[in-house]
Amino acid sequence: MDDQAKSMMDKLGLDARLLGMIGALVVIWIVFGFFTDWRFLSPRNFFNVSVQTASVAVMATGMVFVIVTRNIDLSVGSMLGFIGMTVAALQVQWLPSVLGLGHPMIWVIAVFAAILMGAVLGAAQGWVIGYLTVPAFIVTLGGFLIYRGAMWWVTKGQTQAPLDPVFRLLGGGAEGTLGETLSWVFGTVAAVVALAIMLMSRRRKATHGFTVKPVWAEGILMAMAAGLIMAFVWIMNSYPIPRGAMRRMTEARGIEYTDGMVWNHGVAIPVVILLAVTIVMTIIATRTRFGRYVYATGGNPEAASLSGIDTRLLTVKVFALMGALTGIASIIASARLNAVDVGLGTLDELRVIAAAVIGGTALSGGAGTIYGAVIGALIMQSLQSGMASVGVDAPLQNIVVGFVLVLAVWIDIVYRRRAGV
Amino acid sequence: MTTPLVEMKDISISFGGIKAVDHVSVDLKPGEVVGLLGHNGAGKSTLIKILSGAYAMDTGEILINGEKATINNPRDARTYNIETIYQTLALADNLDAASNLFLGRELVGPTGFVDDDAMEAETRKIMARLNPNFKKFKDPVSALSGGQRQSVAIARAVYFNARILIMDEPTAALGPHETQMVSELIQQLKAEGIGIFLISHDIHDVMELCDRVSVMKNGKLVGTVDVADVTDDDLLGMIILGKKPGES
Ligand SMILES: Nc1ncnc2c1ncn2[C@@H]1O[C@H](COP(=O)(O)OP(=O)(O)OP(=O)(O)O)[C@@H](O)[C@H]1O
Ligand SMILES: [Mg+2]
C-alpha cells in the first residue's frame, strides 16, 4: 500500500483488519457469483445467506466475550439443541395442554423460557469455571456432552413439530420478514440513528479539544454507512415472495390474490434480531463498565483484580450472557426449521468459535470486536452456501472451511505482528 | 504525638511452606515517607500487598487512623484512600492509558455509559504534570516503553487523591529526568500530608526521600530507624547482615 492511500485510510479511521474482512467477503461473493451465473449475487441468495447467518452470528457475539476473557465455550451447539428441544416440547406438548392450542401467549412464554434457560445454564457453567476454577475447556466439554444427552431425554428422541405459528416468524421465511414498507422504515431509522451517533461522537470529541477527522472523511464514512444500510434494504426488497406463500398471506389478510401481484420479502426478522443483538453487544463492549472489565480481565487478569474487579463474578456473567445469546440463537434456529430433532445445533460450537476467530478475536485473550465476529459468521456462511450452490459435496466443504479457518488465523497473526499489537 | 495514619501490627502470611512475611509491624504517619528495604524476596511486596488488599493476612491487624480496618480486597483498600503502584505495574496491556488509569473507577456520563473522552481529557491533564513528553494516548499500553508504562501506573495512584500511597519500586524503569520528577512529586505529596510507603533498592534515594526506614530480611523485620540517625553503610549492614547498627 502506498503512503497516500495509507494516510487516507488513517484519516478515515478504518482499520486494515475490517477492510481485509470486507475484502475477503467481496472476493467470496464474486468468485461464487462467477461460477453460478451470478445466481449467488441474487436477492434471493442474499436473503437466504442473511437468514442462515443469524443464529451462529448471534452466538458469535457472545463468544467474543468468552474468548476475550481467555475462556472457551464448547457447549453452545449442544446447549442450543437442548434449549431448542425443551422449548419446542413446551410449544407442541406442554403449553397447549394447559393454555389450549394456538394460545397467543405460547410464543411469548417460549421466547422467555429459551433465553432464561440459556442464562441459567451458562451461569452455572460460569460459576464452576470462576469459583471452582475448573478450566472452561473442561467444563464446557462436559456441557457439550451433558446437554446433547439431556436433549434426548426431553422427548425420548422424538422430533418436535410443528411449532407455534407466531414463534415460527422469528426464524424468517416468506412470512417472517418486516415486509417492504416496514423494511424501508427500518432502514431509514437505522441510517438516521447511525448518522446521529457519528455526529454526536464528533461533537463530543470537539468539545474536549481532541482532533477530529476531516469533514470530507466523516462525510465519506457517513455516506458509506447510510448507503450500506439502504442498499441492504433495497436488495431484501427485491426478492419477490413465491406464489404459494403469496396466496396464503393474501388470504390471511383478506386481500384478493391476482396473478400479476408482486410482494417482496424485505428484511427477515432473524436479521433484525441479529442487528439488535450486534448493537446491544457493541454498546456493552465499548461503553459499559462490564464490557471494559471483560477486556481488562482478558488483557491482564491480575491487574484487573488488583483494580478491584471481581473476576470470578465476571466469569459467571460472561457465561450467563453467552447462554442467553445461545437461547436467542436457539429460537432462530428452531423457528427457521419449524421442527427440532436431536441433531439441532450439532457442530455449531465450532462454527461459532471459527466466526469469532476469523473476525479477529485472539485466543490469547484481550482482543476482539463484536462486528468482527458477525462479519466472520457471514464469511463462513457465504463460503458454505457458495460451495453448496456450485455443487461441492459436504465432506469437501468441511475440508475447505477447515483450511480457511487456519489460513485466516495465520493472516491475523501476521497482521498483529506487523501492526505491533 | 499524632495518631499514625497506618499501623500494621504483627502481620504474617505464608505461601505453602514459605513464611513470606513473619510477624512484621510497621507504621506510617501523615506527611511521612517510610522506606522499605531488603534483599530480593525479603517480603516487601508481599507486606504492602496485604495493605493494598491483594492478599489476605494469616495473622495480625491493620489500623487506619487508630481504628481497626477491614481490608479484604483492593476495593476495600480504595475506600480507605490507599493507592498502590505495584512493582509489576498491574496494567491491562491491551487497553490505553486512560482506560488503565480509571480501571475499576471509570467516569460515566449521565446515562451511565463509560465516557472515554472525559477520561482521556483527565489523563492528558495529569500526564502533562507527571511526564510532559507522554503523547501516546490512543495506543494500548503494550505499545509504551517501560518508563512510559510506569508513568501511567504512577498517574493512576496519584490521580485519585490518595491519603496513603504505596510505591513499590516506582522509579525502576524511569530515566534520570523522570526519576527526578517522581522525587519532586513525592516531596510535594508529603507536604500535602500524604503518607507514603516507598520500596526501593536505591539506598541513596531512600536516604534522600525517606524519614524512616524499615528493613526486612527473610520475611522478618530487622528494624526501623530514622534516616537522620544512620549512614548508608548502616542501612547496607542491616540489609545484608540483618542486624541493627550497634547490635553484634
Ligand atoms: N503469590 C505467591 N505465591 C507463592 N510465593 C510467593 C508469592 N508471592 C511471593 N512469594 C514468595 O514470598 C517471598 C517474598 O516475596 P516478595 O515479592 O514479597 O519479595 P520482595 O521483597 O518484594 O522482593 P523483590 O525485591 O525481589 O521485589 C518470596 O520468597 C516469594 O517467592
Ligand atoms: Mg517486590
- Bridge partners of B226, per DSSP, are B212
Share of chain A above pLDDT 90, in %: 68
Instruction: Give the pLDDT score at A218.
Output: 86
Burial A301-325 (b: 16+ CB within 10 A, else e): bebbbbbbbbbeebbbbbbbbbbbb
Residue A273 corresponds to which amino acid? I
Ligand 1 pocket residue status of B214, Cβ below 6 Å:
no
- Nearest ligand 1 atom to alpha carbon B46: 18
Task: Select from B54, B99, B106 the Cβ nearest to the Cβ of A306.
Answer: B54
- Bridge partners of B167, per DSSP, are B85, B198
Burial of A219 (0-12, 13-18, 19+ CB in 10 A): exposed
- How far A65 CA lies from chain B's nearest CA (Å)? 14
- A210 contacts chain B (CB < 8 A): yes
3-state secondary structure B172-211: CCCCHHHHHHHHHHHHHHHHCCCEEEEECCCHHHHHHHCC
Ligand 1 pocket residue status of B164, Cβ below 6 Å:
no
Residue A295 corresponds to which amino acid? Y
Ligand 1 pocket residue status of B100, Cβ below 6 Å:
no
Query: Would you tell me how many other CB atoms lie within 10 Å of the CB of residue A44?
Result: 15
Contact A289 B99 (CB under 8 A): no
Query: Would you tell me how many other CB atoms lie within 10 Å of the CB of residue B37?
Result: 24
Model confidence at B248, pLDDT cuts 50, 70, 90, reads low
Mean pLDDT value of segment A4-30: 80
- Chain B residues with beta carbon closer than 8 angstroms to that of A366: 92-94
Which is more confidently placed, A60 or A395? A60
Burial A137-158 (b: 16+ CB within 10 A, else e): eebbbebbebbbebbeebbeeb
Q: Domain spanning A2-173+268-419 has what CATH number?
A: 1.10.3470
Residue B112, CB half-sphere, CA atoms under 13 Å: how many? 4
Arithmetic mean of pLDDT over chain B: 91
Domain extents in chain B: 1-81+162-248, 96-160
Strand B33-38 relative to strand B195-199, pairing: parallel
User: pLDDT tens for residues A23-61?
Assistant: 999 999 999 999 999 999 999 999 999 999 999 999 999
- Nearest ligand 1 atom to alpha carbon B21: 14
Ligand 1 centre distance from Cα of residue B45 (Å): 7
Task: Select from A208, A209, A300 the Cβ nearest to the Cβ of B93.
Answer: A300
Instruction: Give the pLDDT score at A401.
Output: 85
- B99 contacts chain A (CB < 8 A): yes
Mention every residue, 6+ apart, whose C-beta is less than 8 A from residue B183.
Answer: B171, B205, B208, B209
Model confidence at B187, pLDDT cuts 50, 70, 90, reads very high
State the DSSP code for A163.
Answer: P
Contact B92 A300 (CB under 8 A): yes
Contact A366 B120 (CB under 8 A): no
Least confident of A6-15, A41-50, B131-140, B181-190: A6-15
Ligand 1 centre distance from Cα of residue B20 (Å): 6
φ, ψ for residue B199 (rounded to 5)?
A: -95, 130
In the block, cell 504474617 appears at B12
User: pLDDT tens for residues B48-94?
Assistant: 999 999 999 999 999 999 999 999 999 999 999 999 999 999 999 99
Model confidence at A6, pLDDT cuts 50, 70, 90, reads low
Distance CA A230, CA A149 (A): 45
Distance CA B105, CA B108 (A): 9
Distance CA B152, CA B127 (A): 8
Model confidence at A420, pLDDT cuts 50, 70, 90, reads low
- Chain B residues with beta carbon closer than 8 angstroms to that of A64: none
Ligand 1 pocket residue status of B14, Cβ below 6 Å:
no
Strand B59-64 relative to strand B67-69, pairing: antiparallel
Residue A399 corresponds to which amino acid? I
Mean pLDDT value of segment A314-340: 97
B245 pLDDT higher than 80: no
Burial A62-98 (b: 16+ CB within 10 A, else e): bbbbbbbbbbbbbbbbbbbbbbbbbbbbbbbeebeee
Arithmetic mean of pLDDT over chain A: 91
A90 pLDDT higher than 90: yes
CB pairs under 8 A between A and B: 86
- Chain B residues with beta carbon closer than 8 angstroms to that of A418: none
Mention every residue, 6+ apart, whose C-beta is less than 8 A from residue B69.
Answer: B62, B63, B80
Burial of A201 (0-12, 13-18, 19+ CB in 10 A): middle
Share of chain A above pLDDT 70, in %: 96
User: pLDDT tens for residues B3-57?
Assistant: 899 999 999 999 988 999 999 999 999 999 999 999 999 999 999 999 999 999 9
Mutate: best of A212, A289, A305, A309, partner B, most B CBs <10 A? A289
User: pLDDT tens for residues B233-244?
Assistant: 889 889 888 887
B147 pLDDT higher than 90: no
Choose which residue among B39, B44, B52 to substitute to test ligand 1 binding: the one with the highest number of ligand atoms within 8 A of its C-beta: B44
φ, ψ for residue A159 (rounded to 5)?
A: -70, 135
Spatial CA neighbour of B63 closest among B48, B80, B46, B43:
B80
Residue B95, CB half-sphere, CA atoms under 13 Å: how many? 33
Q: Domain spanning B1-81+162-248 has what CATH number?
A: 3.40.50.300
Task: Select from B88, B106, B117 the Cβ nearest to the Cβ of A292.
Answer: B106
Contact B203, B37 (CB under 8 A): yes
Mean pLDDT value of segment A153-176: 91
Output the residue whose Cα is nearest ligand 1's atom 3.
B15
Contact A421 B75 (CB under 8 A): no
Ligand 1 pocket residue status of B54, Cβ below 6 Å:
no
Model confidence at B1, pLDDT cuts 50, 70, 90, reads low
Distance CA B78, CA B53 (A): 9
Residue A50 Cα distances to A55, A63, A233, B156, angstroms: 10, 20, 12, 46
For A202, which residue in chain B has the nearest alpha carbon?
B117
User: pLDDT tens for residues A257-301?
Assistant: 887 788 889 999 999 999 999 999 999 999 999 999 999 999 999
Strand B82-85 relative to strand B164-168, pairing: parallel
Task: Select from B91, B95, B106 the Cβ nearest to the Cβ of A295.
Answer: B95
Distance CA B49, CA B38 (A): 16
- How far A225 CA lies from chain B's nearest CA (Å)? 23
Strand B212-217 relative to strand B220-226, pairing: antiparallel
- A308 contacts chain B (CB < 8 A): yes
Distance CA A336, CA A314 (A): 33
Contact B104 A367 (CB under 8 A): no
Residue A241 corresponds to which amino acid? I
Q: Is the pTM of this model over 0.80?
A: yes
Task: Select from B54, B104, B113 the Cβ nearest to the Cβ of A287.
Answer: B113
Distance CA A355, CA A347 (A): 13
Contact B195, B31 (CB under 8 A): yes
Query: Would you tell me how many other CB atoms lie within 10 Å of the CB of residue A166?
Result: 18
Least confident of A15-19, A200-204, A374-378: A15-19
Residue A413 corresponds to which amino acid? I
Copy the grid coordinates of residue A222.
457517513
Copy the grid coordinates of residue A370.
463484536
Ligand 1 centre distance from Cα of residue B23 (Å): 16
| Helix, strand, coil distribution of chain B in percent, nearest 5 | 35, 25, 40
Contact A304 B103 (CB under 8 A): yes
Distance CA A241, CA A247 (A): 10
- Chain A residues with beta carbon closer than 8 angstroms to that of B91: 300, 303
Mean pLDDT value of segment A4-29: 80
Task: Select from A286, A289, A302 the Cβ nearest to the Cβ of B90.
Answer: A302
User: pLDDT tens for residues B81-130?
Assistant: 999 999 999 999 999 999 999 999 999 999 899 999 999 999 999 998 88
A421 pLDDT higher than 60: no
Distance CA A275, CA A332 (A): 13
Mean pLDDT value of segment A364-371: 92
Spatial CA neighbour of B182 closest among B191, B190, B173, B171:
B171
Distance CA A21, CA A357 (A): 12
- B94 contacts chain A (CB < 8 A): yes
